[in-house]
Structure 1
Amino acid sequence: MIKEWLLLLTGMFVLTESRAQTGRSYTVFSPDRSTSFEVKTANGLLLYRFSFAGQAITRWSQLGLQTNAGDTAAGIVIKNKQEGRHTAQFPWPLGEADSITDNYNELVLSCSSGPTRFNVLVRAYKGCVAFRYELPDIYNGINCIKKESTTFGFEAPVTLYQYNQESVFTPVSIDTFTKTCDLPATLTNGKFFVSIGEANNVNYTKAELKRSGGPYTLAVVFPRDSAVQVAGAFSTPWRTISVSKTAIGLHDFSQLYLKLNPAASKDLPDWIKPGKLIRAQLTTQSGLDCIDFAAKHNLQYIMYDAGWYGAEFRTSSDPTQVIPAIDMPKVIQYGKEKGIGVILYVNYVGLKAKLDTILPLYKQWGVAGLKFGFVDGLTQHGLTWLAGAIQKVYEAGFILDIHDNYKPTGLSRTWPALLTQEGIRGDENSPDAFHTTVLPFTRFLAGPADFTFCYPNAKNQFSKNLKVSRGQQLALTVVYFSPLQALFWYGIPADYTNEDEIEFFKLVPTVWNETHYLAGDIGKGISVARRKGGTWFIGNAAGLDDWHATVRLDFLQKGKKYIAIVYEDDAEKNSIRKRSIPVKKGDQWPVSLKGKTGEAVIIQPME
């Protein structure tokens, strides 16, 4: 790893000054100078403008905080500045690529508003920026942040893909929408695609975006907390803006949140193992059957979900006690013999009451991981508790999956046992093909998501849950990134007699050496290629309408011959058919999909 800090860099930062009511202006450029973030004071306000490729993406928008000690968004003076450069690369074996490059230029502005002092930190990367506020001391009596004055203003209407938690997506113009929108939020004017996000939320509230009073302006709001409590020196989460000239280009920033979190205090432990799981029914025999199924189909875990210790929302249910229908020691021991780990679900009610008790107990039992259910990912109290719980689970030696309304902000960089989380409308909630082809350009920019796949079998089509084809179900396991993938969510092992159809699930990995977004448009279609070792996997999925694209296989190694195995929909048989095609580097691959369908492809070198 290379890390370099240089102060007062000549030529990388621009300092300009104008007279009248506008104070000095400070601009930080990305290392390649394609991206800039300019900050100035005007009429006592602290303003910024974000530009990319020589064009302003935001107009002048506001920065600042309102605290119990006063409005730090008014009467602001910039007292000092510091500048630096950071160049680094770190391995990330739990991700979409082997390593992550972390190159940025930094600007730190020391500001004051009356007696209140605060800093604005800005990091400029190629195509994106991140900024946050620091309260370096509380000598002046600040104990809460009443609101952020952060806004994101645009010159003209842009389309926002509005959603909240696990809702559907609704494209709406930002000058007319009346709800709030979760982060990350994706916007476009057809020429640029923008993602506004949040990173490193360990003790803040859940922020959302709301239409502001200014034209074409969004503001950061706190929907659930009236204020954020602070004590001692305090940093807000990072606010991020990423921009691309194409929709698929937004994927270049899918690892930004990891970069904005501190690294883990130790090397990645061997016990953190990504993988796939099947959910067991609440009996001993189901656990044993699922272990056999997992061993046969290259799954690494089984999960006992809600109910294994009683009704999950009752305070009388005890997560240290197993219901009589499950012989937990027998199941765990059988899993160890077969190389399959057991993951246990615990509801927030039980977690709050007994987290410190169950962690050493589950370690004695031989449990491999936990799934948190119905946590509070919306308030400062809930998110602060969660950050502490994630750390405890990691230090206790368990992998972790957090379900329901929680969304990632990059904390897996610090506590890598957090493999995945929900915060997504997965197969449990019947997403349609528009939704499945919006997700890669929106929620998945924040990090991994547990989609809870419900693949059909001979006895159950899961028609309530599935609104897309079987081929698309296969394809989405490549398109959607999650180091821990839940497959066969409602399925029973004995019902999966369609071995030829589910073969792809046996072969697909969950972490990758290399990833390329090949083609796609929001809600219309997506094509993603990922490499594991010498084998490539491609997932192609269509939205509600037919989708056609051509992708080039330029990622293959020159001079090698490959065979592509295609898993595609067989509409006549309501099944999956396979075909093989020889391919090589530079070939053009035609994608021609009916609406709601998909195809999964494995490309292997010929022996």
Structure 2
Amino acid sequence: MNFKYILLTGSLLFLAIFHGKAGNTTPKSYTLASPNGQLRLRVVIDDSITYSISLKDQTVIAPSVISMTLENQVLGKSANIRKARQHTFRGRIKPLYGKEAVLDNTFNELLIDFRGHYAVAFRAYNEGLAYRFITHIADTIKVLTERADFNLPGVPQVIFPETDNFTSWEVPYKTYAEPALIPDGKKAITPTLFSYPESGVKVVIAESDLFDYPGMYVLKDNGKMTGLWSRYPLRTVMGSWGDFVSVVKDRSDFIARTYGERSFPWRVIIASGDDKTLLNNQLIYKLATPSKLSNTSWIKPGKAAWEWWHDALLPGAAIPSGMANRNTALYNYYVDFAAENHFEYLMIDAGWSDNYNLLKVNPKLDVRSVIRRAASKQVGVFLWCVASTLMKDLEGQLDFLKSLGAAGIKVDFIDRDDQQAIQWFEQIARAAAKRNLMVNFHGCSKPTGLQRTYPNIVNYEAVRGAECSKWDYSANPDHHLLIPFIRMLAGPMDYTPGSMRNSSRKTFKPVDPGLPSTQGTKCHELAMFVIFDQPLAMLCDSPVEYQKYPDVLKFLSAVPTVFDETKVLDARVGAYALMAKRYRNKWFIGAMTNWDERTLQLDFSFLPAGKTYVANLYTDAGSANASGYHYQAMEVTSQTKIKLPLAKGGGAVAYLNLE
């Protein structure tokens, strides 16, 4: 039997060519295009399943094999098609919060059902493509391994978030001129970026909708890039930091034991010839399972005062401060600071209770009275806890935290992303939601869309953040101009910006204990509040430091953590970013550069025409004065264009009211 099947949907033509009889005696091929026609996927079914991807006729993924090995079956080997169907979906997503009030959710999908009780779904969006395995097996199944090859043609540059273990996501990026230079056996966390300098095309490998399954890494194996997953833990002990982290000592011979009627995580390939698109690409969020929460009125993103980064030091304040004085009076001081500056939260970090037993509260701290006082001032309180301690009695511990009046929890030191640990994320989020508790995950793996499913997850760490300024030189402007284009594709990140002690490349030195500084200018730090996605934004520095700069506090009080509209005005991976974001009737603008001094043009054409507005503008004082800045109020219209001089490691911010 030979026939062609043609489906016309909108302006797209999908062609599936079938040859031969059941049993796949000759290959079958399918093509699928993105709604705008720029991305194309080709799937070939033969003895194996292979896929390839092109962007505007440039191959970005050469034919690559995918499969999943179960105990008694290899999904994808000798693949025997039952039926294949394609369709176009047109819809919209209205996130509870984020950087867009509405997301276009148009995609084309190819679903291939195979004999052997499984299927593979392929989706093409304008932002990228994705595929996932789906099983229809009545019993519990054991996944021994999965194969996800990513054969990148040519010699792309690789920006590799390299790791030598399965316990760390707070890594610096290592750049390789080409994949051949990556030693075999080296792996990276995802998202991972591959860049073609001649064409400007960027390819990002990532994943979405990760449930009950280990997280994916990218491995250099026998000269090619392929997926890698940690095996299921066989034996764990308490160890690492303070002997309160669950550490894997032995692993089994499989990666997951799970139910057989399920969809597996999406394997995501984002491809673009325009760096700007990476800063507002929300494909991973779109692919995630929609919210499972019916009542979300209590979930409120916002900014938080925080004591840990600056060692709770309040130089010149009228009360004793420092880590040894984390008591009721000190936290009341932070509450007052938050209330005076319209910050929604206070984060109380490690030390308020025993690391091994949350019920043993620091006797110096009347945490209930602090939370009551905060509530009277419309300030909510997040409380830090260790993941392993929480999981000993998840329901009971969360009941206790709720009884204290906490608005949310910061869950730290998960430090794994095997199947068991991934289960913890959902268990914690679901149980916290039942008690109207928000969650900020720290010491965690990267997000994969779970914050859409459980929007009470208001942030993830999984980034080399400001805390590293206490210990080393890795949190620097070069790093800051990589993470928005790579890590931020996965979801929000708790970088904890806002340092008011700012150093040049030459003058910076790590400080711990004590009052640390950061690399880059003060305006560079302020720009993070616009450019970085952080629904819960923790301000890292001391209240007394912010109080030295009233006009800076004016900006920090005004800037929200979520937005209704985002425009990327100019950007280049690793070099600079210029963005404008609107929240209700206010626009906020942020610009950042790496260690290179440069001038960017800010074009206000995104403003409504025919009216003059007042923009509050903060710019660098120069490369020799990292802590200095210039502030001015200036009139602008939609016709205005201004030059933004950015110092080495510099930045600029502005905000204006449309009314």
Asked whether the two chains share a fold, i.e. TM above 0.5, the reply is yes
User: Of 337, 354, 360, which aligns to 2:399?
Assistant: 360
What aligned pairs does 1:588-599 form with structure 2 within 5 A after superposition? 588-599=641-652
Determine whether 1:474 maps to 2:526.
yes
Match of 1:210 in 2: 219
Determine whether 1:14 maps to 2:15.
yes
In the aligned structure 2, how far is the partner of 1:189 from the partner of 1:56? 11
Offset, 1:492: 4.6
Q: Cα gap change, 1:71/1:232 in structure 2, threshold over 3 Å: closer, same or farther?
A: closer
After superposition, the C-alpha distances for 1:417-466 in whole angstroms (9 at most, x for unaligned) are 001110001100130110001111100111111111251269x9986551
Offset, 1:82: 2.2
Match of 1:346 in 2: 385
Determine whether 1:587 maps to 2:640.
yes
Offset, 1:21: 7.2
Structure 2 contact 100–563 (Cα < 8 Å) conserved: yes
User: Of 143, 150, 153, which aligns to 2:151?
Assistant: 153
Of 543-552 and 401-410, more deviation after overlay is shown by: 543-552
Structure 1 contact 243–250 (Cα < 8 Å) conserved: no
Offset, 1:137: 0.6
Match of 1:232 in 2: 260
Offset, 1:322: 1.2
What aligned pairs does 1:480-519 form with structure 2 within 5 A after superposition? 480-487=532-539, 489-493=540-544, 496-519=547-570
User: Of 19, 31, 40, which aligns to 1:27?
Assistant: 31
Offset, 1:486: 0.4
Of 52-61 and 148-157, more deviation after overlay is shown by: 52-61
Match of 1:275 in 2: 302
Q: Give the letter aligned to residue 528 of structure 1.
A: M
In the aligned structure 2, how far is the partner of 1:91 from the partner of 1:433? 33
Structure 2 contact 620–645 (Cα < 8 Å) conserved: no
In the aligned structure 1, how far is the partner of 2:435 from the partner of 2:84? 42
In the alignment, structure 2 segments of 5+ residues that lack a partner are 1-5, 164-168, 233-253, 313-325, 470-474, 503-507
Q: CA RMSD, aligned part only?
A: 2.4
In the aligned structure 1, how far is the partner of 2:598 from the partner of 2:592? 8
Question: Secondary structure, in 3 states, of the residue corresponding to 2:98?
Answer: coil
Determine whether 1:171 maps to 2:157.
no
Question: Secondary structure, in 3 states, of the residue corresponding to 1:60?
Answer: strand
Of 320-329 and 417-426, more deviation after overlay is shown by: 320-329
Match of 2:464 in 1: 425
In the aligned structure 2, how far is the partner of 1:358 from the partner of 1:202? 23
Determine whether 1:198 maps to 2:225.
no
After superposition, the C-alpha distances for 1:291-329 in whole angstroms (9 at most, x for unaligned) are 10001111110011112112x2xxxx3112311010112
Question: Secondary structure, in 3 states, of the residue corresponding to 2:82?
Answer: strand
In the aligned structure 2, how far is the partner of 1:581 from the partner of 1:56? 48
Determine whether 1:248 maps to 2:248.
no
In the aligned structure 1, how far is the partner of 2:555 from the partner of 2:509? 18
In the aligned structure 1, how far is the partner of 2:615 from the partner of 2:264? 48
Determine whether 1:438 maps to 2:463.
no
In the aligned structure 2, how far is the partner of 1:274 from the partner of 1:461? 33
Structure 1 contact 290–493 (Cα < 8 Å) conserved: no
Q: Give the letter aligned to residue 340 of structure 1.
A: V
Offset, 1:495: 7.2
Offset, 1:267: 4.6
Structure 1 contact 457–495 (Cα < 8 Å) conserved: no
In the aligned structure 2, how far is the partner of 1:513 from the partner of 1:53? 31
Determine whether 1:221 maps to 2:228.
yes
Q: Cα gap change, 1:50/1:168 in structure 2, threshold over 3 Å: closer, same or farther?
A: same
Q: Cα gap change, 1:457/1:437 in structure 2, threshold over 3 Å: closer, same or farther?
A: closer
User: Of 613, 631, 638, which aligns to 1:578?
Assistant: 631
Match of 2:315 in 1: none
TM-score, normalisation: structure 1? 0.91
What aligned pairs does 1:521-600 form with structure 2 within 5 A after superposition? 521-571=572-622, 574-600=627-653
In the aligned structure 2, how far is the partner of 1:579 from the partner of 1:234? 57
After superposition, the C-alpha distances for 1:389-428 in whole angstroms (9 at most, x for unaligned) are 1111112101110002321111111111001110001100
Structure 1 contact 196–241 (Cα < 8 Å) conserved: yes
After superposition, the C-alpha distances for 1:463-514 in whole angstroms (9 at most, x for unaligned) are 6551111110001111101111000x25254774332333321111101010
Q: Cα gap change, 1:338/1:462 in structure 2, threshold over 3 Å: closer, same or farther?
A: farther
Question: Secondary structure, in 3 states, of the residue corresponding to 2:496?
Answer: coil
Offset, 1:41: 2.1
Match of 1:382 in 2: 421
User: Of 87, 90, 95, which aligns to 1:92?
Assistant: 95
Structure 2 contact 499–517 (Cα < 8 Å) conserved: no
Determine whether 1:408 maps to 2:409.
no
Q: Give the letter aligned to residue 532 of structure 1.
A: Y
Q: Cα gap change, 1:247/1:32 in structure 2, threshold over 3 Å: closer, same or farther?
A: closer
User: Of 288, 291, 295, which aligns to 2:339?
Assistant: 295
In the alignment, structure 1 segments of 5+ residues that lack a partner are 1-6
Q: Cα gap change, 1:296/1:461 in structure 2, threshold over 3 Å: closer, same or farther?
A: farther
Offset, 1:604: 3.1
Structure 2 contact 371–404 (Cα < 8 Å) conserved: yes
TM-score, normalisation: structure 2? 0.84
Count of matched residue pairs: 584
Structure 1 contact 457–497 (Cα < 8 Å) conserved: no
In the aligned structure 1, how far is the partner of 2:105 from the partner of 2:68? 28
In the aligned structure 1, how far is the partner of 2:343 from the partner of 2:36? 43
Q: Give the letter aligned to residue 72 of structure 2.
A: A
Determine whether 1:185 maps to 2:192.
yes
In the aligned structure 1, how far is the partner of 2:78 from the partner of 2:596? 53
Q: Cα gap change, 1:54/1:21 in structure 2, threshold over 3 Å: closer, same or farther?
A: farther
In the aligned structure 2, how far is the partner of 1:502 from the partner of 1:490? 12
Question: Secondary structure, in 3 states, of the residue corresponding to 1:74?
Answer: coil
Match of 1:105 in 2: 108
In the aligned structure 2, how far is the partner of 1:401 from the partner of 1:235? 26
Structure 1 contact 455–462 (Cα < 8 Å) conserved: no
Q: Give the letter aligned to residue 146 of structure 1.
A: L
Structure 1 contact 268–416 (Cα < 8 Å) conserved: no
Q: Cα gap change, 1:187/1:513 in structure 2, threshold over 3 Å: closer, same or farther?
A: same
In the aligned structure 2, how far is the partner of 1:272 from the partner of 1:495? 27
Q: Cα gap change, 1:495/1:506 in structure 2, threshold over 3 Å: closer, same or farther?
A: closer
Offset, 1:8: 5.8
Question: Secondary structure, in 3 states, of the residue corresponding to 1:231?
Answer: strand
Q: Give the letter aligned to residue 483 of structure 1.
A: P
Match of 1:4 in 2: none
Structure 1 contact 153–218 (Cα < 8 Å) conserved: yes
